[in-house]
């Protein structure tokens, strides 16, 4: 683990070792790589080399004056993958899931398979819930966690929250037509009480040609922490299985469907 430049900006990252296929973990908004490395990281590390990095203004990577955007986060992720110099699987949670979709759309040459956990391809697909605001107990709790590792410390927490909320209100803006152009296999995974509506999640699944869907019962947006072992099993199976999946009564996947492979 080290700090290296991504697009000229010093960024905290974990570079995977050689020897096994690579899974890059893409953290959620107002979070850091530490969350995924602690939850699903250990289970996936049995079969994969794990890579991760903290995006600008998150975790141990300092912020810049520019606003947050999913497109800029995708730029960072592409730069990280180019630094690796080999294709990788992407497993993204929340904002990281949205970023993974953009990367798969823009640079399929860098990606093997994608797991989207609790993601939304358009901001209109979110359930109507209040965003975290400053001067509330919830903000104070998050700000202390943010300041524990952020280079700027506690004084920058309000700025990060403001930029995050603005991004939530305006992005992402992908369409089902955009999703239909994704050529890499995608697993859409969500809790049954997640932040995106179930209709939106199903629309994502049905729009991506080589996709699979997993709704984990009795879970929320924190599905990776609530049912860690189950999620690791689902993710591992998707990343290692032969594609396309062969089922006994195919309807959406006709028997003659082919996939060029990884």
With contact defined as beta carbons under 8 Å apart, do 126 and 94 qualify? no
* Model pLDDT for residues 86-136, shown as the tens digit of each residue: 999 999 999 999 999 999 999 999 999 999 999 999 999 999 999 999 999
Per-residue pLDDT at 106:
98
> Which DSSP string do the residues of 222-240 spell out, in sequence order?
THHHHSHHHHHHHHHHHHH
CA dihedral 21, 210, 27, 128 (to 10 degrees): -170
Domains by residue range for the chain, with CATH? 2-240 (3.40.50.1820)
The pTM is what?
Answer: 0.96
Residue ranges in the chain modelled with pLDDT below 70: 254-262
With contact defined as beta carbons under 8 Å apart, do 253 and 243 qualify? no
Per-residue pLDDT at 262:
66
């Amino acid at each position: 683990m080290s700090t290296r430049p991504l697009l000229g900006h010093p960024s905290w990252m974990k570079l995977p070792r050689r020897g096994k296929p690579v899974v890059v973990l893409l953290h959620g908004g107002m979070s850091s790589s530490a969350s995924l490395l602690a939850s699903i990281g250990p289970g996936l590390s049995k079969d994969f080399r794990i890579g991760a990095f903290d995006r600008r203004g998150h975790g141990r990577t300092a912020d810049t004056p520019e606003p947050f955007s999913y497109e800029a986060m995708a730029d960072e992720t592409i730069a990280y993958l180019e630094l690796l110099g080999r294709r990788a699987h992407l497993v993204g949670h929340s904002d990281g899931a949205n970023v993974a979709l953009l990367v798969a759309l823009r640079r399929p040459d860098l990606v093997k398979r994608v797991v989207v956990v609790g993601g939304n391809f358009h901001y209109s697909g979110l359930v109507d819930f209040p965003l975290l605001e400053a001067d509330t107990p919830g903000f104070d709790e998050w700000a202390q966690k943010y300041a524990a590792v952020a280079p700027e410390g506690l004084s920058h927490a309000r700025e990060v929250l403001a930029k995050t909320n603005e991004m939530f209100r305006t992005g992402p803006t992908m369409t089902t037509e955009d999703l239909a152009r994704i050529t890499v296999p995608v697993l859409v995974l969500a809790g049954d009480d997640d932040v995106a509506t179930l209709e939106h999640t199903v629309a994502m699944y049905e729009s991506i040609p080589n996709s699979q869907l997993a709704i984990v019962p009795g879970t929320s947006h924190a599905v990776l922490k609530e049912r860690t072992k189950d999620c690791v099993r689902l993710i591992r199976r998707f990343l290692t299985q032969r594609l396309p999946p062969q089922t006994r009564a195919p309807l959406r996947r006709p028997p003659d469907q082919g996939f060029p492979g990884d």
